Amino acid sequence: RKEVEQDPGPFNVPEGATVAFNCTYSNSASQSFFWYRQDCRKEPKLLMSVYSSGNEDGRFTAQLNRASQYISLLIRDSKLSDSATYLCVVPSGTGFQKLVFGTGTRLLVSP
């Protein structure tokens, strides 16, 4: 089983829609998780951290389900500018120093 798995999408949604992505991870000892956003041909940038049960920032909500070993990202009231690839990231290795990236879920928001 891969350390981090994501549905590659694309998820095609209209403006204003609510969309959610899931990410599963294999290391049950992982304590913190991250969602990064990557625009086409650009570097990834941190969107949200998830340290316990969840985190909310405006239209974005990240939740953690330790029992089932997945994290989710919910985007409400989608904007055209939300179109991007969303990367799920899980710390790994000795001291959880290394970050393991999922392959990403592509979101396309249309007018």
Partner 1 sequence: NAGVTQTPKFQVLKTGQSMTLQCAQDMNHEYMSWYRQDPGMGLRLIHYSVGAGITDQGEVPNGYNVSRSTTEDFPLRLLSAAPSQTSVYFCASKREGEQYFGPGTRLTVT
List residues binding partner 1 (CB under 8 A).
Answer: 8, 32, 34, 36, 42-46, 49, 87, 89, 91, 97-104
> Which residue, 17 or 83, is less far from partner 1 as judged by CB?
83
> Which residue, 78 or 106, is less far from partner 1 as judged by CB?
106
Q: How far is the CB of 107 from partner 1 (least distance, A)?
A: 16
> Which residue, 71 or 89, is less far from partner 1 as judged by CB?
89
Q: Which residues contact 7 (CB under 8 A, 6 or more apart)?
A: 21, 22, 105
Q: How far is the CB of 73 from partner 1 (least distance, A)?
A: 16
CA distance 76 to 109: 12
Q: How far is the CB of 99 from partner 1 (least distance, A)?
A: 6
Query: If you search the block for the tokens 């985190």, which residue do you land on?
Result: 55
> Which residue, 15 or 56, is less far from partner 1 as judged by CB?
56
Check if the beta carbon of residue 38 is closer than 8 Å to that of residue 44: yes
Token pair recorded at residue 44:
């990834």
Alpha helices by DSSP H, listed for 1-111, are none
Check if the beta carbon of residue 52 is closer than 8 Å to that of residue 31: no
Q: How far is the CB of 46 from partner 1 (least distance, A)?
A: 5
